[in-house]
A = this chain, B = another copy of it.
Amino acid sequence: MLFEVTDRELEPERLFNHVRKDAAGAVVLFHGVVRETNLGRNVEYLEYEAYPEMATKVMEQLVGELHSKWEITDVAIQHRTGRLEIGETSLLVAVSSPHRHEAFAAGEWLVDRFKDKVPVWKKEVFEGGEEWIEGDRH
């Protein structure tokens, strides 16, 4: 398992290489990307902030739960903090498995749980204002 919170550009190729194993026939790589609009507003950029020490502990628990639910070969996650422009990747989740349906299901579950549990926040700076986004109302 690999988990990193970083203020630098995320590294899909590195995460792919981390989870790719000879026993795995499928790798699902999810990219969460900054969109140009949200709640009907024109987004200028996002600011992400994390509580990294706790994020690491929560991720370890989630990945433990994931392995109890699906046959997963390996998992790698990166989240970016700081200022992100439209089109930049904020979250990368890579999941490998012998079986593609398990890789898809586990990847989707992990992104959902991440957004629900991991202590990371974003402030949206839009035309005419800014707002801390709280919870999944976006």
Residues in B with CB closer than 8 Å to A98 are 35
Q: State the CA gap A25–B46 with chains docked (Å).
A: 13
Residues in B with CB closer than 8 Å to A100 are 30, 32, 108, 111
**Interface bin, chain A:** 20 to 34
Residue A33, interface by CB 8 Å: yes
| Interface of chain A, main secondary structure | mixed
Q: State the CA gap A24–B100 with chains docked (Å).
A: 24
Q: A124 to nearest B CB, angstroms? A: 13
Residue A5, interface by CB 8 Å: no
Residues in B with CB closer than 8 Å to A33 are 20, 24-27, 96
Residues in B with CB closer than 8 Å to A29 are 12, 28-31
Q: A5 to nearest B CB, angstroms? A: 20
Where the two chains meet, the residues of A that have a C-beta atom closer than 8 Å to any C-beta of B are 12-13, 16, 20, 22-37, 86-87, 96, 98, 100-101, 103-104, 107-108, 111
Return 10 A-B CB contacts under 8 Å, by A number. Answer: A12-B13, A12-B16, A20-B33, A23-B37, A24-B33, A25-B34, A26-B31, A26-B32, A27-B30, A30-B103
